[in-house]
Amino acid sequence: MKKRMSGILVLLILCSSIFMIGPVAVSAANTTYYIDSAGGNDANNGTSTTTAWKTLTKVNATTFQPGDQILFKSGGIWNGQLWPKGSGAAGSPIKIDKYGGTAKPIINGGGTQRDYQATGAVMLRNQQYWEISNLEVTNDDNFNVDLVTTTYANSKPTNIRDGILVVLDTNQVAAGGDTIMDHIYIHDNYVHDVDSPNEWPNQYGNASFNGGIMFYVIGALKANMTFNDVRIENNTIEKVDLLAIANFNYTTTTAFQDEIEPYNLWQTNIYIGHNYMRNIGQGAIDVCDAKGAIIEYNVVDGWSKRYNAESAGIYPWKSQNVTFQNNEVYGGPTTTGANNGDGTAFDFDSPNSNIVYQFNYTHNNPMGWMSYLGRSSNNIARYNISDDNAAYLIKFGWFDVDSSATYFLNNVFIYNGGVTKFTNSNANLASTYFKSVPYYFYNNVFYDKNTPSSSFWPSSSGSYGTAVFRNNAFYVTTGSHAAGEPNDPAKVIAPPQMVNPGQAPTLGANGFTSGATVWDGYKLQATSPLINAGYNVPQLGTTDFYGNALFNGAAPDIGAFESTVTGGGGGGPTSVTVGGTVTASSTSSPSGEEKEKAFDANISTKWLITTGTGWIQYKFVTGVSHIVTSYAITSANDVPARDPKNWTLQGSNDGTSWTTLDTRTNEAFATRFLTNTYTFSNSTAYSYYRLNVTANSGGAAQLQLAEIGLFT
């Protein structure tokens, strides 16, 4: 590839021609213009293949109109910057494309120094309704030498380069002018060898979002200055610095871009899909300031190749309502030290809300699967497959804790327990990260394919703070489970019976390494104990990794696959009493029979007090409430006279004011370890539930029960 690229530079010198022209020309609407680097002439009218223009200078000096097309001849080479003028209109975009063959016409920026933030080999500024397709774009002066250090003039970088760059400059928007740049479509291009320094200039003070395909806002802070309807799809992006695809708003001044909401600067309706990115200097896709975005079916093959600081493969920043789905990421950096705050395939980053990672496949990223920097709300990671992402499953950052619950649901994690750790903060999870809001881990498969290390999990099963584990599969090929494995009242430790998990991807039909060649291996065999063994919550969504509808049978399956088998599984509903706090009216319980035993999902233990009446209550994790519509009580091992006989079940949201939900009298438990279930009508979510026993079955001065379950 390097030899071919060097040849391109020679051809650029031979084939490029520049003509001096007069004032900017204005085209007629709905006109097609042809540009031929070998046979064209700028003195022509450009409106046919036989009267084609020749140079970028002619194109750049023309203001195009809605419906115009600018077609570059296949096989042609143009040296310089392509910056046509004008804007299209709704229903009549201006299109850049090719004609006359299959080879993409080449636009080479040549690595020429240009004004900062006007550095694209292909460039638009304050223009809208454009579609750019079927170009080969590069911007490098020497394909064999990489820039390392940023140079500056007047405190601005001077050697920054971009492939395709779209800019909205607020200072150039006239009073009363259009502040929203609509309909920027960039598709089916090959962008490669865009060489910029292998660092982030000025350490965020003047951070430069540069690389393959960029769009961002610059200038003074003004309201409503943004992009809408941006589509970047079917592009191949290779050997670019720093990022492959990114957007940003430079006009904000606060660390967490607090101006985005009050100034209405959200970039809306962004779609980034079906792009192939290889050998990327820093991160591949960084979606910033977005409100309503889909990032899907992208493949990242090698990233953070020339950058050794904060970076992830695909991630959001300061965004809302963004879904990352069906992406494949592999080949991340190897540095696991403190100088790389991220380094993982994905990152929930900060400060975001309503971010969903689903149906993604990641493998062979040495620094791990997911970073989590906090200061966000309502994050969900569901039905993802992570295989051999080494250092950490989750790597926590430094910004702050979240403001609402996060859900990790039905993911498959395959790892080497001797290399990988659950998090980079195992020793202080409860005091630093899992401390304010719940982090739910439901229906995941933790599959340790090697001899486990005692350091994979925290040292104690009680070290997880506000994290709640339930209905997960914990499988270790050696059969040895670490002491710090989480408490999970419905865990499955039997072999998961996946078809053939953990295989290395091979070349797909397109010649690229493809996870699709191994995905079937993560499906469940018909006899798997994971079938119908999961727990249903609304955050599961509607489909599994493979697009199958949820769910078949009595409960969802554990893992990324929803089987059509309806039998097997977990044997009935599971109580929602996981991870909360238990209190009781009496502290007279003997050792080993304390109040917590009533909610430990183990009927062989019991709660006992030395009074014939009393109450016991359960408080969910802070910020969590449930609409409970049934409950169960299991009798203890001995002395039937101690069984509860009369009681009320009450709900509360403050622990002070209680609402009676169900009243029972003269109840009896005919045998030991008998579970009786009681249903009632309730439409209110409560954060506290209390069982208040007003009489036992024999009048003795003792009250006992083995287990209480609360069900939604």
Task: Dump pLDDT digits (tens) for 341-367.
Answer: 688 999 999 999 999 999 999 999 999
In one letter, which amino acid is 37? S
CA–CA gap between residue 498 and residue 530 (Å, rounded): 9
pLDDT at 4 over 60: no
Q: Cα separations (Å) of 71 from 29, 231, 619? A: 15, 20, 67
User: Binning pLDDT at 50, 70 and 90, where does residue 432 land?
Assistant: confident
374-399 burial, b at 16+ Cβ within 10 Å, e below that, comes to bbbbbbbbbbbbbbbbbbbbbbbbeb
Structure confidence at residue 341 (pLDDT): 66
Mean pLDDT of 119-124: 98
CA 443 to chain centre: 19
Structure confidence at residue 20 (pLDDT): 38
How many Cβ atoms from other residues are within 10 Å of residue 537's Cβ? 16
pLDDT at 554 over 90: no
Mean pLDDT of 260-287: 97
pTM of the model: 0.82
Mean pLDDT of 612-630: 91
Mean pLDDT of 433-439: 86
* Beta carbons of 217 and 265 less than 8 angstroms apart: yes
User: Binning pLDDT at 50, 70 and 90, where does residue 206 land?
Assistant: low
Structure confidence at residue 340 (pLDDT): 60
CATH topology of domain 581-711: Jelly Rolls (2.60.120)
| φ and ψ at residue 258, rounded to 5 degrees | -65, -15
* Beta carbons of 256 and 232 less than 8 angstroms apart: no
C-alpha dihedral (653, 655, 659, 662), degrees to nearest 10: 100
- 401 burial type by CB count under 10 A (0-12 exposed, 13-18 middle, 19+ buried): middle
User: Binning pLDDT at 50, 70 and 90, where does residue 238 land?
Assistant: very high
| Residue 220, token pair as written in the block | 């003074």
| Residue 121, token pair as written in the block | 């080999």
CA–CA gap between residue 355 and residue 381 (Å, rounded): 8
CA–CA gap between residue 618 and residue 599 (Å, rounded): 9
Structure confidence at residue 608 (pLDDT): 96
Percent with pLDDT over 90 in the chain:
70
Three-state SS across 353-406?
A: EEEEEECCEEECCCCCCEEEEECCECCEEECCEEECCCCEEEEEEEEECCCCCE
Structure confidence at residue 438 (pLDDT): 85
| Residue 8, token pair as written in the block | 């391109």
Using DSSP's 3-state secondary structure scheme, residue 171 falls into: helix
| Residue 571, token pair as written in the block | 């044997």
* Beta carbons of 534 and 469 less than 8 angstroms apart: no
Average pLDDT, the chain: 90
Q: In angstroms, what is the C-alpha Rg of the chain?
A: 31
Q: Cα separations (Å) of 543 from 101, 199, 383, 421, 568? A: 42, 40, 9, 29, 20
